[in-house]
Structure 1
Amino acid sequence: MKKFIYIILAGFTLSCTDLDLRPEFGETGNIAFQDVKNLERYMAKIYAAYSLTGQQGPAGDADLALVNDEGFTSYIRAYWKAQELTTDEAVIAWQDAGIQDLNTHTWSSDNQFVKVLYYRLFLIISYSNDFLEQSTSDLLSDYGYDDQEMALAQNYRNEVRFLRAMAYWHALDLFRNIPLVTIITTDFPVQDSPEEVFDFIAEELEAIESELPDPQQNQYGRVDKAAVWMLQAKLYLNAEVYTGNDYYSEAVAALEKVLNGPYSIEDDYQLNFRADNHTSNELIFTLPSDGIQTQSYGSTTFLTNGSIGGNMTSSDYGTSGAWAGLRTTRNLVELFPDETGDIDSRAIFFTDGQTLDIADLTVFTEGYAVPKYTNLTTEGEQGSNTEFSDADYPLFRLADAYLMYAEAVLRGGGGSEATALGYINELRERAYGDASGNITASNLTLDFILNERARELYWEGHRRADLIRFGLYTGGEYTWPWKGNNIDGASISDHLEIFPIPATDLAANPELDQNDGY
């Protein structure tokens, strides 16, 4: 059985419905945190806020009362939709209010899925700010912490600073013009510049890097140095989008630390998405899932069950759910040499009874299904629960580090093109089963990297940011079915690179300005 931090949540209740206020505890802070175990439980709540939806799994005591379906409020589910449904990699058949707007780029500041994304992020930030205020050295000394407890508390603080930095990175990427708030306050927050938010994230990661455990030396599912290096690489690789300045050499430096670590590419690509993917040495940082301990309708339960419908049999994927929602477009399929996976094994498509083209987004059988995530183990055994997945969500994995390194090198960040070529061919040899898919130095171009990122990383929450970084998300140079609410794809405005500030937040805070174009 895998062990991870979320299990420590037992016995600790915390909720927050107003982002200007402190979270509410079962006990007042100065009583609750006299016990270091409660500090650990609070940290566990912040980790869990990325995947779970409330105090009672799978539903029943939600953190946020924004929508009728609590499952919609899973952060990683909302994040995945924002990064994938808005691109050529995924569409969804459901007709809940506002969800088709993501497929067609017609969302507004009233869209419920945009609201969930925004408020979830700032809930995580609010929890983190409060944790850091409640765990200062002076307060813990007053609580009577001994040296060992003080050291533990400092470790927890470093992890929470990472979780807050990651939330701010997502907020910067998705909304760009956001308030940078590091304390709990009733004052109206004002927006900071993207450059200021970028600098804050970079400084926080630099400050905690040396204080965190070495790679693979923390409890499973918790932050270590390698998670910091991956987040630094993500931040720096996209810095030109966020700030207008390039940080490719900094991205290479961070990635070289990852690449010199203890990780390795697994022989079996699909191990990274199975119920036993916690055994993969390729995964660097995950959001753990467990069908018994962490039940929710988000994360990989959504990705597994949401991808099953039509002629598919749920039990073939270790689940009883068939939510008939998620498929892909022909653009992704055509990046592979064939759709069967016989040549490139990463092509995981279900085609029986499915059409390649999508005339109606709301019909599950239009568009190939993508059963990339499964609740079966490598041995073919079902996960611990037939309804909720055991597969952990792969936030950071080594294959992504390989691809980011190659891209940063090609963009002038230093490093070695020969080394980059070796990394790419290692991925392709796994995919092809031999060297028949290997490329030469002349093939290693930025266009190739973008396509290879799709082949390797599709449905892992990277595509929107990738297309934006390559200048192909907006405009009409690159289109895909239903881009711009057109069956064949159409040009879309540049303002759609980021999402609007929710209308409800603008109404509540007169200091905020809406993002341009909304």
Structure 2
Amino acid sequence: MKLIKYIIVLFCVIVTSCSLDEVWYDRVVPQTFFKTEGDVLSALYRPFTHARWYLTGDRWIAQEFSADQFARSTKGRHWYDGGRYARYQHHEWTPDESQLFGTWRGTLQGVALGLDVKQDLGRLDYASLALSEEDKAAHLGQLDALIAFFYLRGLDFFGGLPIFTSLDQEDVPRSTDRETFDHVEGLLQQALTDLSTNEVGAPQEGAITKGAAAVMLARLYFNAEAYIGEPMYDEAARISEGIIGNEYGTYSLDPDWKGPHDFENHLSPEIIWSIPSEFNRLEYTHYGHMYHYNSRVYFDVDLGSNNGTHLQPSRKPDGTLYTEEFKLGSPYEKFEDTDLRKKPFRYLGSGNYEGMFLVGPQVSPINGEQVIGNEEYNGQPLVFVDQVGRFSELGSTFESIDELPSNIGAGEENTGVRIVKIPVPSSQDLNLRWAADHPVFRLAEVYLMLAECRLRMGEPSGAAELINEVRKRAFEGGTDPNPATAENLDFYRMADEWGIEFLGEGRRRTDLIRLGFFTTERWWDHTPSNSDHLNRFPVPTEALSASNVLEQNPGY
């Protein structure tokens, strides 16, 4: 298959069903299409809308449901879905999973869209549009970085990928992990040469600047041991130090934990790259899956909720904590009780809010109205519990709470704590609905990358200082009851810090693989396989069926 067909498939999916056997009567060449700077920018940012879509959906499911923080439990008659979510939980996925094909296809669609625009802009005479060669280099640099972004994510999911450098290549086999790694590295090094730095104080508007390319390169090196078997933590640390030291642009940690996610997060000094999404809910569908059908009463606004996803439980059916069973997981209880994020989410009006979770009795902070269940607890007050079990069947199917199983097949409508990562305004402030941009890279990630690198280099004190810089803003007056120290910092604590700061941001699987926990550690309803081939997803059956040259990953 030629790469151009990935573009055709993408537009067929977005617009309508269509035949791939299109008849082309004419072509619009760049010299006739691009008349103004606005035409150039419209073309440049088209692939960025695909990146916005790519950050969620299938990719989020593969990253989070295969790890230790989120689950989509079967809730009575809801959400079994052929057992797909249980397969992710138990690491029993197959090459036939629709999410994996969506991820494979979406990765190469992103590459195709980036190459298409790069090819057009590369042939364009910028001077005829009163644009400079520096403008052209910056635009092509953004496209190099965006193509690298898709390849970097694809490398993380699948290992080596077919490497395309033009749209006309056909039947391209998979490159090795190392070749794909080198291709990403080369694209990013070129982008760092061509890109400009962010302007101090300027709001994020979706453009990739030098800082974002630097974060991607640091990520590549940070995970190199998992990708190519070669530790490159020194290189990751060097770039991370440069980002924190403002060598790639000026950034700083937001003093408010809400800043990188709130309604005006495009102004946060912490954001290195975000994708604008004002009044566009596409990228937040995975958050909408977390809310109960009647959470519209709590929020005082209808979100079209699906009551699917929730945090994996911190507590057993009898209410005691999972402390002896496993070290990972238990995401809600990994937050300190005085952590400002651990409060129940309450919208306070005029863009102000507190907390990050739906937990406990669901009584609207807007008008005091009680949220009512409509499944197992039909007509009863809804109370979200940090547990999984069929409590409604006590006294019938189960005689005592000790008999209640807790697994991904045993959910109810009130099962699990729900996260409100993106604030939800009330009906009085609908102008703010979906106003928050989608943060792709933020400075807190760089601090934690550098911290983990220093921990690996035998510098736990320096690592702890970096972690505490990120943690302190989540406590009143910066008073942290459990700061990281040289004595309490190990890889398990490091995993906790990544999980707390980036809960729900679609990266958990990657962190567990790098830390060596993904196939070796227990968590709720998950027994380790000790099968390292599971660190890569399989090449999807549909991709193999469409090609004579693709080969499957080992172990599948």
How does the TM-score come out when normalised to structure 2?
A: 0.75
Taking only the aligned residue pairs, the percentage that are identical comes to: 26
Report the counterpart of residue 270 of structure 1 in structure 2: 258
* Residue among 492, 502, 524 paired with 1:481: 524
Q: Which stretch of structure 1 is more off in the superposition, 173-182 or 145-154?
A: 145-154
* Residue among 543, 553, 556 paired with 1:505: 543
| Equivalent position amino acid for 1:507 in 2 | S
The reply on whether 1:91 has 2:99 as its aligned counterpart is no
The reply on whether 1:172 has 2:202 as its aligned counterpart is no
Contact 1:376/1:383 (CA < 8 Å) preserved in 2? Answer: yes
Report the counterpart of residue 351 of structure 2 in structure 1: none
The reply on whether 1:350 has 2:350 as its aligned counterpart is no
**In the aligned structure 2, how far is the partner of 1:23 from the partner of 1:243?**
43
Contact 1:239/1:245 (CA < 8 Å) preserved in 2? Answer: yes
**Bigger radius of gyration, 1 or 2?**
2
Report the counterpart of residue 425 of structure 1 in structure 2: 468
Report the counterpart of residue 110 of structure 2 in structure 1: 124
Q: Given the superposition, is the C-alpha separation of residues 338 and 236 from structure 1 closer, same or farther in structure 2, using an over 3 Å criterion?
A: closer
Q: Given the superposition, is the C-alpha separation of residues 355 and 170 from structure 1 closer, same or farther in structure 2, using an over 3 Å criterion?
A: same
The 5-angstrom pairing of residues 267-306 of structure 1 reads 267-291=255-279, 295-296=280-281, 298-300=282-284, 302-306=285-289
Matched position secondary structure for 2:441: strand
Report the counterpart of residue 415 of structure 2 in structure 1: 366
| Equivalent position amino acid for 1:444 in 2 | L
- How far apart are 1:398 and its partner, in Å? 1.5
Report the counterpart of residue 183 of structure 2 in structure 1: 200
Q: Given the superposition, is the C-alpha separation of residues 250 and 382 from structure 1 closer, same or farther in structure 2, using an over 3 Å criterion?
A: farther
**In the aligned structure 2, how far is the partner of 1:443 from the partner of 1:81?**
32
| Equivalent position amino acid for 1:443 in 2 | N
Report the counterpart of residue 17 of structure 1 in structure 2: 9
Contact 2:334/2:496 (CA < 8 Å) preserved in 1? Answer: no
**In the aligned structure 2, how far is the partner of 1:122 from the partner of 1:22?**
20
Matched position secondary structure for 2:187: helix
Contact 1:86/1:104 (CA < 8 Å) preserved in 2? Answer: yes
- How far apart are 1:303 and its partner, in Å? 3.8
Q: Deviations over 1:354-408 (max 9, x none)?
A: 333324366442222222222339xx9735375xx22222221121111110101
The 5-angstrom pairing of residues 207-222 of structure 1 reads 207-216=190-199, 220-222=205-207
- How far apart are 1:410 and its partner, in Å? 1.7
Contact 1:304/1:374 (CA < 8 Å) preserved in 2? Answer: no
**In the aligned structure 2, how far is the partner of 1:237 from the partner of 1:460?**
18
Contact 2:144/2:190 (CA < 8 Å) preserved in 1? Answer: no
Report the counterpart of residue 154 of structure 1 in structure 2: 137
Report the counterpart of residue 47 of structure 2 in structure 1: 46
Q: How many residues align?
A: 462
Q: Given the superposition, is the C-alpha separation of residues 501 and 334 from structure 1 closer, same or farther in structure 2, using an over 3 Å criterion?
A: closer
Where structure 1 has 5 or more consecutive residues not aligned to the other structure, the ranges are 1-13, 53-73, 484-488
| Equivalent position amino acid for 1:408 in 2 | C
**In the aligned structure 2, how far is the partner of 1:111 from the partner of 1:491?**
19
Matched position secondary structure for 1:286: strand
Report the counterpart of residue 233 of structure 2 in structure 1: 248
Report the counterpart of residue 436 of structure 1 in structure 2: 481
Q: Deviations over 1:179-212 (max 9, x none)?
A: 1111112520111111111111112111221321
The 5-angstrom pairing of residues 281-430 of structure 1 reads 281-291=269-279, 295-296=280-281, 298-300=282-284, 302-309=285-292, 312-313=295-296, 316=299, 319-330=302-313, 334=330, 342-347=337-342, 348-352=356-360, 353-358=383-388, 359=406, 360=409, 363-376=412-425, 382-384=429-431, 389-412=434-457, 418-430=461-473
Q: Deviations over 1:439-464 (max 9, x none)?
A: 33222333321111111111111210
| Equivalent position amino acid for 2:108 in 1 | F
Contact 2:292/2:307 (CA < 8 Å) preserved in 1? Answer: yes
- How far apart are 1:153 and its partner, in Å? 2.9
Q: Given the superposition, is the C-alpha separation of residues 77 and 381 from structure 1 closer, same or farther in structure 2, using an over 3 Å criterion?
A: farther
**In the aligned structure 2, how far is the partner of 1:23 from the partner of 1:344?**
60
Q: Given the superposition, is the C-alpha separation of residues 87 and 509 from structure 1 closer, same or farther in structure 2, using an over 3 Å criterion?
A: same
| Equivalent position amino acid for 1:441 in 2 | A
| Equivalent position amino acid for 1:329 in 2 | Q
- How far apart are 1:418 and its partner, in Å? 4.5
Contact 1:51/1:76 (CA < 8 Å) preserved in 2? Answer: yes
Q: Given the superposition, is the C-alpha separation of residues 149 and 324 from structure 1 closer, same or farther in structure 2, using an over 3 Å criterion?
A: same
Report the counterpart of residue 243 of structure 2 in structure 1: 258
Q: Deviations over 1:127-159 (max 9, x none)?
A: 1122222222xx323x87356254433321110
Where structure 2 has 5 or more consecutive residues not aligned to the other structure, the ranges are 1-5, 12-19, 74-78, 315-327, 343-355, 361-382, 389-405
| Equivalent position amino acid for 2:339 in 1 | D
